[in-house]
Structure 1
Amino acid sequence: MRWLFFALSVWGTIHPMSYFIAWFQANTWDIMAMVDAWHANAASSGLVWDLTIAAVALTIWVIGETVQTRHWVRLIAIPATFGIGVSCGLPLYIFIRMGQTDATRT
């Protein structure tokens, strides 16, 4: 099961990035133009806010558990979430967490 989450984090990196790169190549490499495109209509703005709130919730969870457990490698999920997306950061965090949980059982 753990490796399924790793595969999801890889997919969550590659698949969305392929769309972002294609958009940048067609529209210039201007990040603010992409942010404007994200808010082109109410549906896309709703999706942006949905993902933003999920990213903040994940960040709070990561920080809270990391402080408790002192498994500092888990913090890598935060830049993965904000630099790539929730589709990478969440499964990556679960992958790391499951590996550390398995290690404490043995």
Structure 2
Amino acid sequence: MTPLRLAYLALAVWGAIHPMSYFIGWFMENGWSLGAMIDAWYVNKATSGLVWDLTIAAIALTLWIVAEVYVRKNWIGLIAIPATFCIGVSCGLPLYLFLRTAPIK
């Protein structure tokens, strides 16, 4: 595995674990309500702007993944879409780059 692929994989793992530690911490303090967490994301204009920034980035990444998977027929790349929306762009983007840079068979 190339150093670049290892870097993408490390970023995907970090992008899954680090943000999730904050989410789980929030749930432990405030209860396991997804609705309450979403409400917390819109507590002020700064957090609302960040949510929209990440949402737009996630949609753009999804469009790119779908377009490339359609052309390249690299179906495993589709795994990055649920990773993006269930974990975050910080996991989905490096995961897709890791999958995309795999040697062509």
Could you tell me the TM-score, scaled by structure 2's length? 0.95
Higher percent of residues as helix: 1
Q: Which runs of 5+ in 2 are unaligned?
A: none
Give the 5 Å matches for 1:42-57: 42-57=45-60
Matched, 1:35 2:38: yes
Instruction: Report the residue type matching 2:84 in the other structure.
Output: T
Task: Give the ranges of 4+ consecutive aligned residues of structure 1 lying more than 3 Å apart after TM superposition.
Answer: none
Identity %: 61
**Quick one: distance in 2 between partners of 1:63 and 1:69?**
10
Q: Which runs of 5+ in 1 are unaligned?
A: none
**Quick one: distance in 1 between partners of 2:8 and 2:72?**
21
Could you tell me the TM-score, scaled by structure 1's length? 0.94
Provide the residue aligned with 2:104 in structure 1.
Answer: 103
Secondary structure of the residue that 2:96 maps to in structure 1? helix
Q: Which one of 7, 10, 31 corresponds to residue 7 of structure 1?
A: 10
Residue 103 of structure 1: how far off its partner (Å): 2.6
Residue 43 of structure 1: how far off its partner (Å): 0.1
Secondary structure of the residue that 1:103 maps to in structure 2? coil
**Quick one: distance in 1 between partners of 2:74 and 2:53?**
28
